[in-house]
């Protein structure tokens, strides 16, 4: 596993030198407009931080567009993708890049159209979160355009920023077991429904389910398969994305021995579970403890939801580091980079000690 170290930004240079980012930019591209004293201070800061000018700033000379493509699922259906794309756009802006974003809504044909438009716009690189079709990415690879995939790899041969669900899910199950819960349910994405390519053996959905099973086994909770319900993370049609989670929770409540806690592998699923529990006249956390995954809308729910989060700012930085290095020809690795970030449990008010 490679250790990830963020590349320095222009803002880092400015802070080190005690000047504004605009002054740093002038030293780099219009040095004649800056006094010798400030030029010296900034040049020393450039050496100290190791900052290198990005490709966008040299666009006219290098024939690059200064544009990075971003292809995501759909931020209107799952706010996680809005938050992730915002983290990426903020980092790109810091480095002087424009971001051209498309949402495919899990439709391969829309993803393919996005790729076509990015080729027409001469994007310098493209980030996918998440891609759905390896064939759709092929034209980018054939054109020699750097590609980075986030969390879910559907195409071999590209850089990837991955998320390890094990730490966060294990912490969630351990927390629930500490509170006395033995029958812990899991609602998540069904690998058969998503049928994602398994570039490295398993899919994102399988990894989350496997992490849950391992944590249950490790902490001595029930391994009853009746406590596992799989389906869609959220519906991609209509105006009720929480429907899938609501239906899974209703099914769990019909079991002869229902759970006392549930781990949802998405905050939208957890929102549906909260709705189903409310419809059944059950309270959270009084009658049922609930933990989500994504930490996207968790603090907006009632009660504020404990959830497994990912370091979105670091993920955005890492994705930009990878594409900028590739654009500038600074990646000398013979194999694609695969950088993995851990997950962590963020506790709020949706869990409590199991009732006797």
pLDDT in tens, 264-314: 999 999 999 999 999 999 999 999 999 999 999 999 999 999 999 999 999
pLDDT value for 50: 82
Which range, of 4-8, 206-210, 226-230, 334-338, averages the lowest pLDDT?
4-8
pLDDT band at 23 (very low <50, low <70, confident <90, very high): confident
Q: Which two tokens stand for residue 264?
A: 């949802």
* Mean pLDDT of all residues in 168-184: 98
Mean pLDDT rounded to a whole number for the chain: 89
pLDDT band at 40 (very low <50, low <70, confident <90, very high): very high
* Mean pLDDT of all residues in 71-84: 84
Q: Which two tokens stand for residue 174?
A: 């351990």
**Does residue 60 surpass a pLDDT of 50?**
no
- Of 211, 225, 307, 308, the C-alpha closest to 259 is 225
Helices (H), 158-219: 166-178, 191-194, 204-219
Q: Taking a C-beta distance cutoff of 8 angstroms, is the pair 120, 283 a contact? A: no
pLDDT value for 61: 41
Q: Taking a C-beta distance cutoff of 8 angstroms, is the pair 141, 92 a contact? A: no
Cis bond upstream, residue 13 (ω within 30) = no
Beta strands (DSSP E) in the chain are: 67-72, 98-103, 125-129, 147-150, 159-164, 184-189, 228-231, 261-264, 289-294, 306-309, 338-342, 344-346
Q: Which two tokens stand for residue 339?
A: 């950088």
Q: Which two tokens stand for residue 349?
A: 């008010």
Between CA 219 and CA 216 the distance in angstroms is 5
Higher pLDDT, 4 or 313: 313
Please write the tens of the pLDDT for every residue from 216-243: 999 999 999 999 999 988 877 767 889 9
Higher pLDDT, 204 or 58: 204
């Amino acid at each position: 596993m490679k250790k990830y170290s963020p590349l320095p930004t222009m803002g880092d240079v400015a802070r080190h030198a005690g000047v504004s980012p605009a002054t740093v930019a002038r030293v780099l591209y219009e040095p004649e407009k800056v006094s010798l004293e400030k030029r010296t201070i900034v040049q020393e800061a450039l050496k100290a931080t190791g900052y290198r000018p990005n490709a966008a700033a040299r666009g006219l000379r290098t024939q690059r567009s200064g544009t990075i493509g971003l292809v995501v699922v759909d931020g209107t259906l799952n706010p996680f993708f809005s938050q992730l794309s915002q983290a990426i756009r903020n980092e790109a802006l810091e480095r002087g890049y424009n971001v051209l974003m498309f949402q495919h809504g899990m439709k391969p044909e829309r993803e393919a159209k996005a790729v076509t438009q990015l080729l027409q716009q001469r994007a310098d690189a493209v980030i996918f979160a998440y891609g759905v079709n390896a064939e759709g990415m092929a034209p980018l690879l054939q054109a020699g355009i750097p590609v980075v995939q986030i969390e879910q790899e559907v195409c071999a041969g590209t850089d990837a920023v991955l998320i390890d669900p094990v730490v966060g899910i294990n912490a969630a199950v351990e927390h629930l077991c500490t509170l006395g819960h033995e029958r812990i349910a899991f609602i998540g994405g069904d690998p058969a429904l998503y049928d994602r390519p398994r570039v490295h053996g398993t899919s994102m959905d399988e990894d989350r389910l496997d992490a849950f099973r391992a944590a249950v086994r490790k902490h001595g909770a029930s391994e009853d398969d009746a406590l596992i319900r799989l389906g869609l993370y959220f519906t991609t049609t209509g105006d009720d994305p929480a429907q899938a989670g609501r239906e899974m929770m209703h099914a769990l409540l019909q079991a002869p021995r229902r759970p006392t806690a549930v781990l949802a592998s998405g905050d939208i699923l957890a929102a549906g579970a909260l709705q189903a529990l409310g419809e059944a006249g059950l309270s959270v956390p009084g009658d049922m403890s609930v933990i989500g995954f994504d930490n996207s809308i968790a603090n907006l729910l009632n009660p504020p939801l404990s959830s497994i989060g990912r370091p979105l700012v670091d993920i955005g930085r890492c994705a930009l580091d990878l594409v900028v290095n590739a654009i500038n020809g600074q990646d000398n690795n013979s194999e694609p980079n695969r950088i993995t970030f851990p997950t962590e449990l963020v506790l709020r008010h949706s869990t409590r000690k199991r009732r006797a």
